[in-house]
Structure 1
Amino acid sequence: MTAKKRNWVPATLSEFDGVRFLHLDSIWVQGAMRIRKPDQLELEYIQRMCAWMLWRDEAELGQGHAVQLGLGAAALTRFSLGQLKMRTTAVEINPEVIAACRQWFRLPHDDARLEVVNGDAARWVTDDAHLQTANVLNVDLYDHEAESPVLDDEDFYAACRGVLSDGGLMTVNLFGRSASFARSALRIARVFGSDQVWSLAPTKEGNTVVVAARGVQVPHRDVLELRAANIESRFSLPARKWLRLVRPLPMSILNAL
């Protein structure tokens, strides 16, 4: 699947204090990579996009298929492919972003475990060929103005749920000058069910990560704490902090269901 030809917003770069940033012809950061530690997840909200790991059994962390909708600077793609050793698919509509990631952000070329699709995420998730094919789905879809998610309605989230296998997990970055967390979270909860949706407290930059599951039984707190400690040990991610920040959706949203 290839995106139709159009005048794409060019990908631009900046560097500061050892970190390379991806922009789409604006001041807004679309992704980042520490140049000397390319496998490290640099941005806090990108780290939190891995909070799905708390809901997944330790033995299953590196199994299955991970999908990213929106490539950014390829941080999550590199992580799921290189650190978790999962089969990985990334869907990115802007070919300029893919080219920048290949040249400047250590994105490998496609092989048996990696497929980078230059295409529309909305079309990808509604393709019947992708039904129940993903164990993990990371959704981070913003244009160059970063005002609100470019795909954010119930039909889209229903298609995302359809892509997940039983027990699959989705994380969504909700951020933007015009975005409404309550509006977006309500749409996700209507599709996944209120008992299958959680959120983390916002980062200082304003990113709120939502976790949604397809038929996951929430483990006991003791199990979650053990998983968090294991994630920190294996991947140097602040999973115990995630656990402190995870919460059910607010009652104001649940009452609107």
Structure 2
Amino acid sequence: MQHQKKAPHPDYDEPIISESQGVRYLHFNSEWIQGAMRVARPEKLEFEYTQQMMAWLLFLAPPADRSVGILGLGAGSLTRFCQHHFDSDIVTVEWNPQVTAICESAFELRQTASCRVVHEDANDWVLDPLNENGYGALMVDLYDYTAQGPVCSSERFYQGCRRVCAELGVVTINLFGHHGSFRKNIRNIRRAFDDRVILFPETVDGNRIVIAFTGPPLEVTLEQLRQRAKRVQSLYRLPATGWLRTLLQENGKTGSLVRF
């Protein structure tokens, strides 16, 4: 199944959709999948990497006094999940208004006063002083139609991400572990966040999720983390206890007291 659109703006990649076995997919005129939605359960995160993008919940509850930010709408998976589960205000930054339109018509996107899409360049948005310290959590998933290297990857961009969550926050970033841009991105992320960074191992699809921390150093007992992971798993049906084991092992975090 394909969704017919008018001729695209020359600066935008043209979104199309396909569907198979109850899952609807978003593409940008290529075979690369940009996002997916299980039609019977629109709020479910279909891919392992989108689930891992929510791993900030291991360290921070959904903020009540600040917003949740998402850079890159894709098929709206992260936006739908947050809207379904959180009372926080949710702001999604998307460059291409055609993506927003197709998400509204085919991917159950429902904009409200507390869940809105902003059509802006993500690089400009993170550098806007109006967004400084306005977000408790920020998820960064910025890819063009090739779905390989992030379209925003400079140290200055990641410094902007840090400022968005300056006082106390967690940023998750989707990278491709096998892509040539990976090392450059990791280097720039580590510099921007003073090396307060941990990583998931690469998924079977090649995604590698980075978690970066802002604000004062975080020191928590292993038992507190375990209890938090159990709560996240119960509340959101996410594999949080497995995340915790993987992250501790992958990043050499040992002992009864863990620092981030």
TM-score, with length taken from structure 1: 0.89
Cα distance in 2 between the residues matched to 1:67 and 1:94: 17
Change (3 A) 1:199 1:155: same
* Residue of structure 1 in register with 2:96 after alignment: 94
CA-atom RMSD in angstroms: 1.7
**Does the 8 Å CA contact 1:146/1:176 hold for their aligned counterparts?**
no
Aligned length in residues: 241
Cα distance in 2 between the residues matched to 1:66 and 1:104: 23
Task: Give the Å deviation of 1:51.
Answer: 0.5
| Counterpart AA for 1:105 | F
* Residue of structure 2 in register with 1:210 after alignment: 210
**Does the 8 Å CA contact 1:33/1:105 hold for their aligned counterparts?**
yes
* Residue of structure 1 in register with 2:12 after alignment: 8
1:36 equivalent in alignment to 2:37: no
1:191 equivalent in alignment to 2:195: no
* Residue of structure 2 in register with 1:66 after alignment: 68
| Counterpart AA for 2:134 | T
Task: Give the Å deviation of 1:141.
Answer: 0.4
- For residues 220-244 of structure 1, give each alpha carbon's deviation from its aligned partner in whole angstroms, at most 9, with x where no partner exists: 1111111111111111000111112
Cα distance in 1 between the residues matched to 2:129 and 2:56: 24
Q: Tell me, which stretches of 5 or more residues in structure 2 are unaligned?
A: 1-8, 253-260
Q: Tell me, which stretches of 5 or more residues in structure 1 are unaligned?
A: 250-257
| Counterpart AA for 2:15 | A
| Counterpart AA for 2:147 | A
* Residue of structure 2 in register with 1:225 after alignment: 226
111-120 vs 204-213, greater mean Cα deviation: 111-120
* Residue of structure 1 in register with 2:120 after alignment: 119
Identical residues among aligned pairs (%): 39
Change (3 A) 1:121 1:130: same
| Counterpart AA for 2:221 | H
| Counterpart AA for 1:213 | F
* Residue of structure 2 in register with 1:106 after alignment: 108
Cα distance in 1 between the residues matched to 2:67 and 2:53: 16
* Residue of structure 1 in register with 2:148 after alignment: 147
Cα distance in 1 between the residues matched to 2:70 and 2:165: 12
**Does the 8 Å CA contact 2:71/2:94 hold for their aligned counterparts?**
yes
Cα distance in 2 between the residues matched to 1:85 and 1:40: 17
**Does the 8 Å CA contact 1:55/1:219 hold for their aligned counterparts?**
no
| Counterpart AA for 2:91 | T
**Does the 8 Å CA contact 2:75/2:103 hold for their aligned counterparts?**
yes
* Residue of structure 2 in register with 1:52 after alignment: 56
Cα distance in 2 between the residues matched to 1:91 and 1:210: 19
Cα distance in 2 between the residues matched to 1:62 and 1:234: 15
**Does the 8 Å CA contact 1:38/1:106 hold for their aligned counterparts?**
yes
- For residues 173-195 of structure 1, give each alpha carbon's deviation from its aligned partner in whole angstroms, at most 9, with x where no partner exists: 0027644433211211111112x
| Counterpart AA for 1:118 | H
Change (3 A) 1:50 1:179: farther
Q: Which runs of 4+ in 1 moved over 4 A?
A: none
Change (3 A) 1:204 1:126: same
